[in-house]
Structure 1
Amino acid sequence: MTTIIRGGTVVNADRAFRADVLCYGDKIVAVGTNLDAPASATVIDAGGQYVMPGGIDPHTHMNLPFMGTVTADDFFTGTAAGLAGGTTTIIDFVIPSPQQSLLEAYRTWRGWAQKAAGDYSFHVAITWWADSVHEEMGTLVRNHGVNSFKHFMAYKNAIMADDETLVKSFRRSLELGAIPTVHAENGELVYQLQQDLLKQGLTGPSSHPLSRPPAVEAEAANRAIAIANVLNTPLYIVHVSCKESLDAITRARAGGQRVYGEALAGHLIIDDSVYQNPDFDFAAGHVMSPPFRGKEHQTALWHGLQGGNLHTTATDHCTFCAEQKAAGRNDFSKIPNGCGGVEDRMAVIWDAGVNSGRLTPSEFVRVTSANAAQIFNIYPRKGVIAVGSDADIVVWDPEASRTISAKTQFAKGGFNVFEGRTVRGIPSATLAAGKLAFHKGELMAKEGAGRHVDRPAFTPVSAR
């Protein structure tokens, strides 16, 4: 199958230029002006539009069993929604139960992902430690294309990794050429604060941010950075939500550490006033961890993206419907944590970032695809419009607009944290592996069309 995108402005992380893009099969085969194409080729008119690498969301949770329930979006509905928003690749999470084999959990998640409409890869969480975990980490890196391991510093009595686990896993990651990632919140402090609030009768969603103040996140971020510094490992900190954590990353990077930070679209746009809404369903719909913060933290996060101390944007897409959130109606600590966003990330960041002058189009590409591809070692297969790269492409209309609503979204869950926001700058077409998956409002995603993306280790096998 041949597709040619004509008349657009190609935008990569380093530059923008007028060019046609010719795709054959699942690859880009030519980028240039006035390209020839077979008469049978599908032609996409990109006049007046940008042609950018498909988005990479490095933090999603599809089909996730969590807090006694399972997320509303599975790998088909979640990746299809992503394609509608210009995201062509996700990196999801395998989360073994404590004492569960990493390989067993990995096989389970790979089975669930068979129905994905877009490409996918996996971080694997380290939720416990034993010699078997040490060995299975090696198998995952060498044989299964895993080069990142996740550590939850939160969720006491569930999946929280203690300091011993962090040290041993970080060290093993370094040996294997993999990058450790952390959810930075002090789980013990969160647990104690939750108990204190509940004893005071403060059981509603407004207590959620009180149980997870910025200092709780900052302590964990500083601790993870210190461990990584001693062991000389790189570190990727997911969903940085507050100025204090960003400050810790900035200090570490100024000192020469390889520390990378991720910002969620929601944390860039939404503030903590949502938890004061008297409507339980509305407030609970915004319960995620870390919680949404005050406006001063949003300003800091934008500065982090602009200054290069935050590197990627993600969503932590983890959808639950109102009935599932209602499990915590009388106890905020039992509200399933998670919000959506994979469908809207690109548009809200373009609208709030590029339209406001905070980001250039090339910087937008950097924080929505190129940096993730480079940090997780799938560049230039992903994250760039270039000959030989995957034909994962979004044609972006900077003048078109839409109003975000749960009523019209493709994602499941029946709730949208960006509800009512009108964004200017949206996809007019999305190609995934060279096939048109979304065009002018019509979603043509195919169940099972997505491919697993192996992510090589950062050092040659012979060197380990």
Structure 2
Amino acid sequence: MSTTLITGGTVVSATGRTQADVLVDGETIVALIQPGAIPFGPIAPDRTIDATGKYVVPGGVDAHTHMEMPFGGTFASDTFETGTRAAAWGGTTTIVDFVVQYPEQNVLDQYHLWHEKAAGNCAIDYGFHQILSDVQDSSLTAMDELISEGVTSFKLFMAYKGVFLSDDGQILRAFQKGSENGAMMMMHAENGAVIDVLVQQAIAAGKTTPYWHGITRPWQAEEEATHRAIMLADLTGAPLYVVHVSAKQAVEQIATARDRGLNVFGETCPQYLYLSLEEQLAAVSERWGTLEGAKWVCSTPLRSRAEGHQNAMWQSLRTNDIQMVSTDHCPFCMKDQKELGRNDFSKIPNGIGSVENRLDLMYQGVVTGEITLERWVEITSTTPARMFGMYGKKGVIAPGADADIVVYDPSGHTSIGMGPGRTAHHMNMDYSAWEGFEIDGHVDLVMSRGAVVVDDSGYVGRKGHGQYVARGLSQYLS
């Protein structure tokens, strides 16, 4: 096996930073050594990477993606090939994608289908969560079987009637099984029945532009559903992970539950830290007109900046009331996909593409003083790995870990978008949700299990390099 020595950099972990050289043998980190020490005696490493003046951090772990997801009569525009390649460009070296199960579909059949989609196509490593819609006896049996396959987390929905929604009785049964077998139970927490009525009323009143997507999914629907999910978790003893938290009131419910000692966790996404309902309202372009706001239609929706949700989300990351940042990467093109809702916002496929931008966007929070450098590593890599049973191999630069490493240049610059003077993104989308964002930092080099997949020449990885990660139980519970 070949050896690589990364020299001169500052190794950053969730707990601190140190000047150290990193020695990689094959796919594995074997040592952190004193800068300038010669670990080989007279034998030089096969390759030396100069990281002087740069940060050396563990590869990003994005624990919430939807590659090739069927939704709203179409499919997410990124395949496992294009989506994982884009992730690599942005310094993410592991994703955890969601296996989709619609009512009447067999859970295990869908799991095997997702393996067929991903195997041999991914540029980086990948794992799976399992979505459960109609919870039947067979679903509960499948949960036990999937845990033995390394799928140790299961997502349910309180919204999308007839598509994903599970009633409280079904959620209760799934949570009881999660309490029994140690699975992490994940929840899309929005009151779907309330949302459905508000959507119908808005459409009937002629309020059809993308802005109304957020208005008809109010924070009260998110807070109520978050509270209900917490109560069901408390009743059953199941651990609960609330996905894509966007409302400050939902954070308060999670914080209260954690203060009571419950195993309740939450994630947020970059869009809830940076984007707002007001900007969506103002979005009109020559090309797309009032449909421009469809770029930012996602669920949970963007929230009002005037109400202080964005500042509250940053604060929740500082206080650890929210533990990590994922993307909920579910990209759709404007042409032929988002434009399905040109005259009816309820027909716009819900999703934003961010898998390539997450590390950069969160690093900008370091630059502006919202989070520390160590917290950046923690919320984008270390905590996701711990939360979903991968830590030790993923999420850390330490002997024995996979050599998933990012060399990040704080003196570099990244202009996000597709316009003039910008480097077009590599996600399979015809627009950028982050057009015009400027990042005071740059991903210079990315290693996935010891193989350089991105360097100063561009993408040098390959389709099929990524391997399936069979995950253990959450390391926050063991």
Q: What TM-score does the superposition give when structure 2 sets the normalisation length?
A: 0.94
Are 1:416 and 2:428 an aligned pair? Answer: no
1:7 aligns with 2:19: no
Match of 1:134 among 134, 140, 143: 140
2:256 counterpart letter in structure 1: R
Aligned mates of 1:437, 1:158 — CA distance in 2: 38
SS in structure 1 opposite 2:413?
A: strand
Aligned positions, number: 458
SS of corresponding position for 2:8: strand
CA distance in 2, matches of 1:170, 1:223: 13
When residues 35 and 93 of structure 1 are mapped into structure 2, their CA distance, relative to the original with a 3 A threshold, is: farther
Q: Could you tell me which residue of structure 1 aligns to residue 150 of structure 2?
A: 145
5 Å matches for 1:369-448?
369-406=381-418, 408-440=424-456, 442-448=458-464
Q: Which residue of 2 aligns with 1:339?
A: 352
8 Å contact kept, 1:56–1:373: yes
1:281 Cα deviation after fit: 3.9
Q: Is the 8 A contact 1:20 1:35 kept in 2?
A: no
Q: Aligned AA for 1:62?
A: M
The AA in structure 2 aligned to 1:44 is I
Residue 36 of structure 1 is matched in structure 2 by 39
CA–CA distance in structure 1, aligned partners of residues 31 and 45 of structure 2: 17
Write out the 4+ residue segments of structure 1 that deviate beyond 6 Å after TM superposition.
none
Which residue does 1:364 correspond to in 2?
Answer: 376
**In structure 1, distance between residues paired with 2:318 and 2:392:** 23
1 CA distance for matches of 2:442 and 2:190? Answer: 34
Deviations 1:37-57 (A, max 9, x none): 553512111000010000001
Specify the SS of the correspondent of 1:358.
coil
CA shift in 2, pair 1:52/1:175, >3 Å? same
**Which residue is equivalent to 2:125?**
119
Cα deviations by residue, 1:357-405 (Å, 9 ceiling, x for unpaired): 2211111111001111111111111111000001000011011002101
From 316, 330, 336, the equivalent of 2:328 is 316
Kept after mapping to 2: 8 A contact 1:253/1:259: yes
SS at match of 1:59: strand
Q: Is the 8 A contact 2:211 2:277 kept in 1?
A: no
Identity %: 40
Structure 2 counterpart of 1:213, from 198, 214, 218:
218
**Within 2, Cα distance between the matches of 1:101 and 1:377?**
25
Give 1:457 deviation, angstroms: 3.1
Helix, strand or coil at the partner of 2:414: strand
* Contact kept? 2:244, 2:266, Cα under 8 Å: yes
- 1:274 shift after superposition: 3.0
Q: Deviations over 1:187-239 (max 9, x none)?
A: 11111110010110111111101110111111110000011011111110010
Note the 1:47-446 alignment, pairs <5 A.
Answer: 47-114=52-119, 115-142=121-148, 144-276=149-281, 277-278=283-284, 279-295=289-305, 296-323=308-335, 324-351=337-364, 353-406=365-418, 408-440=424-456, 442-446=458-462
C-alpha distance in 2 between matches for 1:457 and 1:246: 24
1:62-114 CA-partner distances (Å, limit 9, x unpaired): 11111110111111111111111111001110011111111100011111111
Q: In 2, are the aligned partners of 1:380 and 1:389 still within 8 Å (CA)?
A: yes
Structure 2: distance between partners of 1:215 and 1:421: 30
AA aligned opposite 1:359: I
SS in 2 for 1:56: strand
- 1:80 alignment partner AA: R
Q: Is the 8 A contact 2:233 2:240 kept in 1?
A: yes
Using the alignment, how far apart are the partners of 2:357 and 2:474 within structure 1? 31
SS in 1 for 2:267: strand
* In 2, Cα distance between equivalents of 1:399 and 1:280: 38
Does structure 2 retain, via aligned residues, the 8 Å contact 1:176–1:457?
Answer: no
Conserved? CA contact 1:48–1:397, under 8 Å = yes
Match of 2:410, SS state, is strand
Q: Which amino acid aligns with 1:8?
A: G
* Structure 2 unpaired stretches of 5+: none
Measured in 2, the distance between the counterparts of 1:9 and 1:221 equals: 40
Q: Which runs of 5+ in 1 are unaligned?
A: none
**Mapped contact 2:178–2:239 kept (Cα < 8 A):** no
Say what the alpha-carbon RMSD is for the aligned residues: 1.4
Partner residue, 2:18: 17
Query: d(CA) in 2 for partners of 1:294 and 1:350?
Result: 23
Amino acid at match of 1:122: F
CA distance in 2, matches of 1:437, 1:219: 44
3-state SS of paired residue (1:219): helix
SS of 1:298's partner is helix
Conserved in 2, the CA contact under 8 Å of 1:274 and 1:286?
no
The CA deviation at 1:30 is: 1.0
| Secondary structure, aligned partner of 1:400 | coil
3-state SS, counterpart of residue 441 of structure 2: strand
Cα distance, 1:443 vs structure 2: 1.1
